[in-house]
Structure 1
């Protein structure tokens, strides 16, 4: 069976249209198709042919005529026959060409226009020209299909067995799908928002939202960035992927432009410019409608084709008083792309055939081949250049408490048109199905499991404590958890208990907390812990809980200390774009290795430490969503900073030592437009005063003290020094830098797709008062430390291999002592 190319065009987005106008525009002489020809009707509907010259307009009324035009061709008028399904339009080239712009001779006229667009960006950008604005927006997202595109037949399936073709089964999936899709959409969301902008930025406040099948919506979906709000940004975002904009400051070197035609929008003359990325096949392509008077964008069509065919459309309304084109409508659509890989859209898997130029084996198209996602947003009630006061401006999206309980009268107020005949049925049917099959509850349980918890009534069991291993405790068996929202939304109890099969001792923790601020998600609590910890390990108290089925590095650790710890704390997000913990702790410390701390000739093998600490994570460039359930980081942006200050309290609750520690970490990631990623991690710490080895820095080593390379093969850690031996170096002050560059995965075989990552790590450190530490051998990092290596991750089913080499001032004499080979494992849970 030939591969079938499913065509979705730029303006075929109204699901309740009553008439479809289909055709193809060609050159009358060469018979070649004319890509991006303009199609217009008497009621000012404007459409564009695709790259193959084909067009499809869905209209509410049947026009009497329509026009097709193309730059340097004669405009053609065609009478509409309501019974005609397809129009073949042949345009004749003009013999007397006219200059439509004042251009340099022999220069592409589109370049002259685009230079003016870029030069006048700030004058035409609503967020640059004006100081503030406010408007309301109604958004509707559906996952659906056109029932007329689906054959809907009941097929007989035959198989070949022993050179004979035999009947296997009846396939009625297409028939059932068409029957369903005629009555309803597959999924539907409605949302009404208020947008506000001033010198502090743009904020969306969601006033109402409905999500088919869910009493409480999945808030992460509402935070998805489907397309950029502004077309004037240097980076244009389409389905959470950023592309260099065709009107960015340096776009003229990245894009090819062509002047296609001239047209009118709101009685203002427009240039129609076609653009296409000339550096990347999967980059942006599309159309810009440019006002001939002020070179502002009056309409934009952005398209990216790959595994998905994604289109973003921006329409504008001309404000005569402000002499400004302001957004009035956004459309976003995902359809079949050029790959036959299965894809996921909002959690739903769809199978798509490849394009005709794909030589892979074809298959019978299923109903989901015709499925697409469509989002449409209409703006209203605009106030421009008036004072706007934004509450909680540090939150990019805020969902009102009553947003999910709005009455039907609220929705009727904001809907531009009445719902199509399938939309109301979508709500009633999906609400019934979700309730009957308890989908919402299953989703809730699934989300808990993916974060490491197993919900059991009012308690969430923490699967991290079930089983782990290290060289000191052996196998560590345990059970832990916390109370869930079902128990209380303002109180929580958490704890765990564990037993080490090698050291033969029990460890445990018990804590209580109460919420003291809902919007800031502030908690005050206390806990008691009796457990063990790796010596000289650096940890930030504010670090978020990360669930891992395994943690490779601690498997090799053998040097621990016991701590009995009382802790009181306040945890809050009250400072914009930060999370912080403020705590007071008292600990009794007992090293579980041969060590004595000598302070002024007084020897300590067991000691007490009382500290005050603040740990703060600051993500100044990230975007946050405030939901009725708490705050979410919906868009992670870099750099991110973490700082922690710890100070002992002399003569307070039997504190033995006086010291302080300042720890700092900066993280940066950049996802390149070609699919590669670069990551940098800068860490530093400074400890001053009288501080025992348990609280110094070891810079995260991960190499076993074994004679042969093969004996040292273990699992690679996360940001650890793979060639540095355990307990080899200790520091009271250190600085480390790690650089990683990951390339796109390379497909060698169907299931073998390795990911190449280049890694370099370097560190420097120093140790004050080395004479205080007795009984343990170590070196210092005052000469520096460097290692580099290669990771081949996810070679097969998440398994990979890495190799690192140590060089520089601390290089060892034997070559193989500087070499480390590690296994890697990347688990992709799809979150």
Structure 2
């Protein structure tokens, strides 16, 4: 048995090569390659092919429309085959014209018959199981793996500097194991219109409990029939969308047989975008369904997604049976990392195009999914349908018998070694403990036993308190998963006053992550600053705006609340509070003939964020937003409760916000933020709107240089405008970072902000001067972020109806600092 096993390993051969036009030497994309054992493959968009096959293969045949067929005998001594195809000169031009016209007709037929062929339209329900293997690896045969002597040029000539054994060590490692490996067994259920994945088994090299975020990566679309196709979290127009003929160019490459049915092999390419979606569609000649699809994008990364189908004659349907996804390095002048930095590629060198490739150039990420146990039109009831991926509590505790039963192929020695080595390394270096520590730090907590110290409370500064020192935090899961205690205390050196908070909570729902709790707070807050209670907690090493703020109010607040995610695709906070408010500046509120220096407010509030386009995963540790899609909507309603606990005023506030963000694979990002607020009734200035000003009232422009905020008006002076109703719009576009010098790589961001507002009953507010935003406020600027080690510089200009008479008063120069943790 050992002899036969070793013989089978030696019998495996790897075919690598490229297919070119014999006259022009240009690569031929998606040529059909047929081994003499019947196995069929295709060349990629660069004309290259690479696959492994069992022995007894002595030749392969290459066909391409408009070219002579060619048969190649396999030479085991040659590692790379260059196949040159000769065009049929006399027929080529006619063939191209005919094929383009015919290809368009076939694509139109496929579009017209989408609903008849789409399983999610044709079938009432279906379910199946999948086995998925995700790995990061490299092909050891592609790596030279030699030890190099490194020389440097000196005034005396070339001098030896060191021995470089990097490639040698990498080849030794990759010969024995992969760099990363994860497996997953899932059940997919579809009942029109819901598709849900339930993970019943999970295994990840180096971890007792998997990093569940890996299971949420959207590498490629589930369906090939949707009008939008998603490849590695980037959306493209599908080549069979309703009007795809205007965007894509199609031509027939070949006709082949799949499942004993004739299919057209049609190549498609974006007419306009050079780096757009490109690939092959295999279309059934009888029912015009998709029998196979190859989707490809070339750029900073070369990404390929393959969908394979099998034909079921009893239902006259092609149903997906296999998916493949692969990422390799493309042409990039910058180092590129993906999946949170878990896989990285070095930059290409401009100085030497013929430079030998390094090991990182051969590193790739691969995901393979096999489908089995397919059932059509069975009685399916999907529970918790708003959860896209549900990971069972015991998914990571499956015995080896489970994996032997559900793996579609036996793990090879490299995969088994990967588990052995990575498990050993993780245990020796306490990797899981370090990851837990890192996650806490990233979110602004320092774990200390059963208590997480909140780093936000350690040190801050503002014009009223001066330096503020404090300590605080919250109990963690080591204390309890059902109960929590939180609090802080702080002291301002300038106002010489202690502030503090104490609260507790109890979890009453695991799936919905529902908490009920109460707290008391004695602290200060900026006047007219409305925040959304449901907004995610963001950790900053510094918060630039409060540094320049002088007008605060003190609040003593008793609060009871419920936090829950029970409403599908929402997070919400429902609270009742009683506050004693004391302005810490010269201010009085005139209401019904009575002057208020301080006041009491009893109010109810609901704050809700709705992410309708996002996908969620339920894990043993809670619910995760695995696919963040935009826009996101945030709503908050606050209403005072008259005649309860000596409440002084009757008022309400309605706040609404829309966030939109689009990221590009080349590093650019566009964002839109729109917000409106409406306050009605008797409401003091402490609870109005100030639209986030961030400029000092100084005569000299240099005296006004401060640190820029994220969404604040940099040219608007503090306390310059107040509103009881307002609308705000911010547009940003960030370009990719540009290397000027080795350590100077600024990112250019274009910014425009605008706001309109009004103030009802201005006569009620005594002791503070202000203006209103009836005519609108406008500013635009340029940010040069991360010029050097996170530090940057920006400039903004104020224009429109509220432009000031002096030119320099409309200008604002700001410093910026961005701590890039690679977490976006």
Contact 1:35 / 1:51 at 8 angstroms: preserved in 2? Answer: yes
- 1:761-799 deviations in whole A, cap 9, x for unaligned? 222222222222221222222333333333333333333
**1:396-411 correspondence to structure 2 within 5 Å:** 396-411=388-403
Alpha-carbon distance, 1:372 to partner: 1.8
Select the residue among 194, 202, 205 that pairs with 1:201: 194
Could you say if the C-alpha distance between residues 60 and 471 of structure 1 is closer, same or farther in structure 2, counting changes exceeding 3 Å? same
Per the alignment, residue 130 of structure 1 pairs with 123
- 1:682-729 deviations in whole A, cap 9, x for unaligned? 222222222211111112111211122222222221211222221122
Could you say if the C-alpha distance between residues 277 and 107 of structure 1 is closer, same or farther in structure 2, counting changes exceeding 3 Å? closer
Contact 1:200 / 1:393 at 8 angstroms: preserved in 2? Answer: no
2:519 aligned with 1:556: no
Alpha-carbon distance, 1:41 to partner: 2.4
Could you say if the C-alpha distance between residues 570 and 152 of structure 1 is closer, same or farther in structure 2, counting changes exceeding 3 Å? same
2:513 aligned with 1:530: no
Per the alignment, residue 35 of structure 2 pairs with 41
Contact 1:337 / 1:352 at 8 angstroms: preserved in 2? Answer: no
Could you say if the C-alpha distance between residues 74 and 782 of structure 1 is closer, same or farther in structure 2, counting changes exceeding 3 Å? closer
2:458 aligned with 1:466: yes
Alpha-carbon distance, 1:444 to partner: 1.4
Contact 1:353 / 1:362 at 8 angstroms: preserved in 2? Answer: no
Per the alignment, residue 211 of structure 1 pairs with 204
Q: What SS does the corresponding residue of 2:719 show, helix, strand or coil?
A: coil
Select the residue among 708, 717, 734 that pairs with 1:725: 717
Could you say if the C-alpha distance between residues 17 and 272 of structure 1 is closer, same or farther in structure 2, counting changes exceeding 3 Å? farther
2:181 aligned with 1:188: yes
**1:74-473 correspondence to structure 2 within 5 Å:** 74-80=68-74, 85=79, 87=81, 89-94=83-88, 108-160=101-153, 163-339=156-332, 341-346=334-339, 347-348=341-342, 350-352=344-346, 354=348, 358-360=350-352, 365-473=357-465
Q: What SS does the corresponding residue of 2:413 show, helix, strand or coil?
A: coil
Contact 2:521 / 2:558 at 8 angstroms: preserved in 1? Answer: yes
Alpha-carbon distance, 1:582 to partner: 0.8
- 1:368-387 deviations in whole A, cap 9, x for unaligned? 33322211100111122334
Alpha-carbon distance, 1:148 to partner: 2.5
Structure-1 separation of matches of 2:370 and 2:469: 56
Alpha-carbon distance, 1:363 to partner: 6.3
Structure-1 separation of matches of 2:438 and 2:43: 44
Structure-2 separation of matches of 1:696 and 1:156: 70
Q: What SS does the corresponding residue of 2:550 show, helix, strand or coil?
A: coil
Structure-2 separation of matches of 1:67 and 1:128: 38
Could you say if the C-alpha distance between residues 584 and 140 of structure 1 is closer, same or farther in structure 2, counting changes exceeding 3 Å? same
Structure-1 separation of matches of 2:357 and 2:100: 47
Q: What SS does the corresponding residue of 1:118 show, helix, strand or coil?
A: helix
Alpha-carbon distance, 1:158 to partner: 4.1
Contact 1:243 / 1:673 at 8 angstroms: preserved in 2? Answer: no
Tell me whether 397-406 or 235-244 shows the greater mean CA deviation.
235-244
Structure-2 separation of matches of 1:661 and 1:353: 52
Tell me whether 461-470 or 61-70 shows the greater mean CA deviation.
61-70
Per the alignment, residue 4 of structure 2 pairs with none
Alpha-carbon distance, 1:488 to partner: 0.9
Structure-1 separation of matches of 2:421 and 2:666: 42
Could you say if the C-alpha distance between residues 295 and 796 of structure 1 is closer, same or farther in structure 2, counting changes exceeding 3 Å? farther
Alpha-carbon distance, 1:162 to partner: 5.2
Per the alignment, residue 601 of structure 1 pairs with 593
- 1:86-121 deviations in whole A, cap 9, x for unaligned? 5554545447859999x9969544333333333333
Q: CA RMSD in A?
A: 2.8
Structure-2 separation of matches of 1:679 and 1:336: 28
Tell me whether 417-426 or 302-311 shows the greater mean CA deviation.
302-311
Contact 1:716 / 1:722 at 8 angstroms: preserved in 2? Answer: yes
Contact 1:577 / 1:620 at 8 angstroms: preserved in 2? Answer: yes
Alpha-carbon distance, 1:317 to partner: 1.0
Could you say if the C-alpha distance between residues 145 and 759 of structure 1 is closer, same or farther in structure 2, counting changes exceeding 3 Å? closer
2:471 aligned with 1:479: yes
Alpha-carbon distance, 1:431 to partner: 0.7
Structure-2 separation of matches of 1:107 and 1:626: 47
Alpha-carbon distance, 1:681 to partner: 2.0
Tell me whether 139-148 or 345-354 shows the greater mean CA deviation.
345-354
Q: What SS does the corresponding residue of 1:143 show, helix, strand or coil?
A: strand
Alpha-carbon distance, 1:283 to partner: 2.2
Contact 2:336 / 2:347 at 8 angstroms: preserved in 1? Answer: no
Contact 2:234 / 2:664 at 8 angstroms: preserved in 1? Answer: no
Per the alignment, residue 3 of structure 2 pairs with none
Number of residue pairs the alignment of both structures matches: 815
Contact 1:24 / 1:55 at 8 angstroms: preserved in 2? Answer: yes
Could you say if the C-alpha distance between residues 676 and 114 of structure 1 is closer, same or farther in structure 2, counting changes exceeding 3 Å? farther
Could you say if the C-alpha distance between residues 445 and 86 of structure 1 is closer, same or farther in structure 2, counting changes exceeding 3 Å? closer
Could you say if the C-alpha distance between residues 698 and 142 of structure 1 is closer, same or farther in structure 2, counting changes exceeding 3 Å? same
Contact 1:540 / 1:615 at 8 angstroms: preserved in 2? Answer: yes
Select the residue among 813, 817, 820 that pairs with 1:821: 813
Contact 1:739 / 1:760 at 8 angstroms: preserved in 2? Answer: yes
Tell me whether 577-586 or 153-162 shows the greater mean CA deviation.
153-162
Alpha-carbon distance, 1:152 to partner: 3.3
- 1:221-280 deviations in whole A, cap 9, x for unaligned? 111111221222333222222233333333333333332211111111122222233433
Structure-2 separation of matches of 1:711 and 1:52: 58
Per the alignment, residue 5 of structure 2 pairs with none
Q: What SS does the corresponding residue of 1:422 show, helix, strand or coil?
A: helix
Could you say if the C-alpha distance between residues 508 and 29 of structure 1 is closer, same or farther in structure 2, counting changes exceeding 3 Å? closer
Q: What SS does the corresponding residue of 2:533 show, helix, strand or coil?
A: coil
Q: What SS does the corresponding residue of 2:132 show, helix, strand or coil?
A: strand
- 1:424-483 deviations in whole A, cap 9, x for unaligned? 221122111110011221121112111111111111111111111111111111111111
Structure-2 separation of matches of 1:769 and 1:693: 11
2:468 aligned with 1:494: no
Could you say if the C-alpha distance between residues 600 and 437 of structure 1 is closer, same or farther in structure 2, counting changes exceeding 3 Å? same
Could you say if the C-alpha distance between residues 681 and 560 of structure 1 is closer, same or farther in structure 2, counting changes exceeding 3 Å? same
Tell me whether 272-281 or 533-542 shows the greater mean CA deviation.
272-281
Could you say if the C-alpha distance between residues 544 and 19 of structure 1 is closer, same or farther in structure 2, counting changes exceeding 3 Å? same
Structure-2 separation of matches of 1:32 and 1:594: 78
Q: What SS does the corresponding residue of 1:730 show, helix, strand or coil?
A: coil
Per the alignment, residue 4 of structure 1 pairs with none
Structure-1 separation of matches of 2:444 and 2:78: 59
Could you say if the C-alpha distance between residues 90 and 744 of structure 1 is closer, same or farther in structure 2, counting changes exceeding 3 Å? closer
Per the alignment, residue 630 of structure 2 pairs with 638
Contact 1:17 / 1:58 at 8 angstroms: preserved in 2? Answer: no
Structure-2 separation of matches of 1:30 and 1:413: 51
Structure-2 separation of matches of 1:725 and 1:33: 61
Could you say if the C-alpha distance between residues 430 and 121 of structure 1 is closer, same or farther in structure 2, counting changes exceeding 3 Å? same
Contact 1:342 / 1:349 at 8 angstroms: preserved in 2? Answer: no
**1:760-771 correspondence to structure 2 within 5 Å:** 760-771=752-763
Alpha-carbon distance, 1:282 to partner: 2.8
